[in-house]
Amino acid sequence: MNLKSNLIFTLYTIYGILLKVMASKGKVRGISGQYPLVQNVTVTEGGTANLTCRVEYNDNTSLQWSNPAQQTLFFGDKKALRDNRIELVRASWSELTISISDVSLSDEGMYTCSLFTMPVRTAKAYLTVLGVPEKPEIDGLTKPAMEGDQITLTCITQGSKPAADLRWFRNEKEVKGAKEVNASGKTFTVRSSLQLHVDRNDDGVAYTCRVDHVALAQMPQQATEVLEVHYAPRVEIIQSHAVPQEGQYLKLECVSKGNPSPDPVMWTKDGGELPDLDRMIVEGRELTFTSLNKTDNGTYRCEASNHLGTSSAEFVLYVYDVPTTLPPSTTPPPHPIPPDPTQASDLTVTGNRDPNALGQHGTDHALIGGVVAVVVFVTLCLIIVLGRYLARHKGTYLTNEAKGADDAPDADTAIINAEGNHAHAEEKKEYFI
């Protein structure tokens, strides 16, 4: 059976060679209008390529496909080359379609479709095979990295054709890397480097290298590495109340950020140990005062450390007096009094004011009381002076008729007596001392 196939292949080959020789010498003239039509094909390595040759007008002339080495693949519906990857798809007088499965880079090249007219007509189709890049790998990462280190991340991918493109991402944001391309036979090896000055903000950050290539349109390749950065702690103190007052509850939280975590933290007061552990409770990073008093005033210090260093923060505590307020009146007003916007504004401002300013209203009340006392005192003095004036002018006052009425029998005599006594008026004057 194999001998028969070889014989048929040999006869077809000889027949094709004879036709080409005759056409080259011009001994045979072809029929005009018969031209094979083909298209270039692009396929990914490992895929299947379909090569199709069509003729619009054909007078029962055979079609043939040959590979870049000019080996006949199919002559009509007859397979000529023993390659299990090559199969016949369709064969007729107007079309010859074949398929090549599991395509490799070595299959790339110019394929020829021949129409055996006089002369022989040919058309060429180029088969392009795309090399699929391998999954990228990231090198150069040290775990853990130390804050302040200089490191270089390198991403490598091989086997791409044409050369792949490498892109870097810091979390979701793209960053620029340095690209290098090297040819290796028909494929390319691509490298991209990314230099980093590591700080604490890089801790937990994901750096991703992604491969962009025409052969990876449906399933992009990428590699990701997460940085672990060790750094010395930083400390700050957060208070639960902005204005601590006597009798209040207060919590101070020591917020420390470091890797490895600086746990536990140390609390001190004025450079020494905490004096009253019954009221000052330390739980983890928190210092809690159950009931503040004036003895709690002082400077509190929180200190945290790990193997890379120590950090501390201080908080100056001043306990304010509790503001005093007048007891509410139990007697309701005769008529409802609408609220005064000015007074409401004053109360709002006072609520947000520093407790040291709460005594200003007490000073205003004392000033008003002093003015009222002065007014009362002046009023009393005026009343006393007026009383003395009225007392000095108190007595009996007589008219001229009355002055002589005591010894006169009638009014006329009384007038005469009064005029007579006028000369002695100086002797009857009264003086008040």
Residue-level pLDDT at 164? 94
Taking residues 241-259, report their average pLDDT. Answer: 90
pLDDT at 16: 52
Q: Is residue 114 a contact partner of residue 12, using CB atoms and an 8 Å limit?
A: no
Taking residues 150-176, report their average pLDDT: 94
Q: Which residue has the tokens 């009222």?
A: 372
C-alpha angle 52-55-60 in degrees, rounded to nearest 5: 115
What share of the chain has pLDDT > 90, as a percent? 49
pLDDT at 389: 82
Given this model, what pLDDT does residue 364 score?
66
Binning pLDDT at 50, 70 and 90, where does residue 410 land?
low
Average pLDDT over residues 256-263: 88
Query: Which band of pLDDT confidence, cut at 50, 70 and 90, is reported for residue 392?
Result: confident
pLDDT band, residue 284 (cuts 50/70/90): confident
Closest CA to 137 of 188, 213, 209: 209
Question: Which pair of tokens denotes residue 312?
Answer: 């501390």
DSSP single-letter state for residue 432: -
Which residues neighbour 338 within 8 Å (Cβ) at sequence distance 6 or greater? Answer: none
pTM of the model: 0.59
The mean-pLDDT minimum among 159-168, 233-242, 362-371, 376-385 falls in 362-371
Average pLDDT over residues 46-72: 90
Mean pLDDT of the region 298-323: 91
- Determine whether 116 is exposed, middle or buried from the number of CB atoms within 10 Å of its CB (0-12, 13-18, 19+): buried
Q: Which residue has the higher pLDDT, 15 or 296?
A: 296
Q: What local confidence, expressed as pLDDT, does residue 211 receive? A: 95
Confidence of residue 347 (pLDDT cuts 50, 70, 90): very low
Token duo for residue 101: 């499965």
Sheet holding 229-239, edge to edge: 145-146, 229-239, 250-259, 286-289, 280-283
Strand partners, 169: 174, 208
- Which tokens go with 93? 């007088």
422 pLDDT higher than 80: no
- The Cα–Cα gap between 194 and 133 comes to 20
Rounded Cα gap, residues 318 and 134, in angstroms = 67
Taken in order of first residue, the domains within the chain and their CATH numbers are 36-130 (2.60.40.10), 134-227 (2.60.40.10), 232-317 (2.60.40.10)
Q: Which two tokens stand for residue 143?
A: 């775990």
Mean pLDDT, residues 100-117 taken together: 94
Whether pLDDT at 145 is above 50: yes
